Amino acid sequence: MSNSKMKLNDVYATAKRQDKRQLCRFMRDMKRAGLKQRFFHGGSSWSGPAVVCENLDEVLSETDVPCQSVQKGLRYLVHPKQGL
């Protein structure tokens, strides 16, 4: 399956297989918080789950996983530092 078309279930299964615990934890935390996730592929260096939000603290307050964020206009793209 092409990385650019991965579904979230596939992302989680791949992360679990690769023992990417922080990535799995981020996904569980976001699901528990009711925050919508999507697959993001940031160039050749990072891919995995991400959340788009207007309030950065809305995402960061829901997890202890180290995250990175990129501001895109009035919104933020937040994802765990650990990727696939």
Structural domain boundaries enclosing 58: 3-80
Higher pLDDT, 83 or 6: 83
Which stretch of 9-23, 33-47, 55-69 has the lowest confidence by average pLDDT?
A: 33-47
| Cβ neighbours, 10 Å, residue 7 | 10
Sheet of strand 46-53, all strands in order from the earlier edge strand to the far edge: 37-42, 46-53, 75-80, 67-72
User: Model-level pTM?
Assistant: 0.91
Q: Do 59 and 51 form a contact (C-beta atoms < 8 A)?
A: yes
**Domain count within the chain:** 1
pLDDT at 5: 72
Q: Look at residue 9 and tell me whether its pLDDT is greater than 60.
A: yes
List strand residue ranges (DSSP E) for 1-84, in order: 37-42, 46-53, 67-72, 75-80
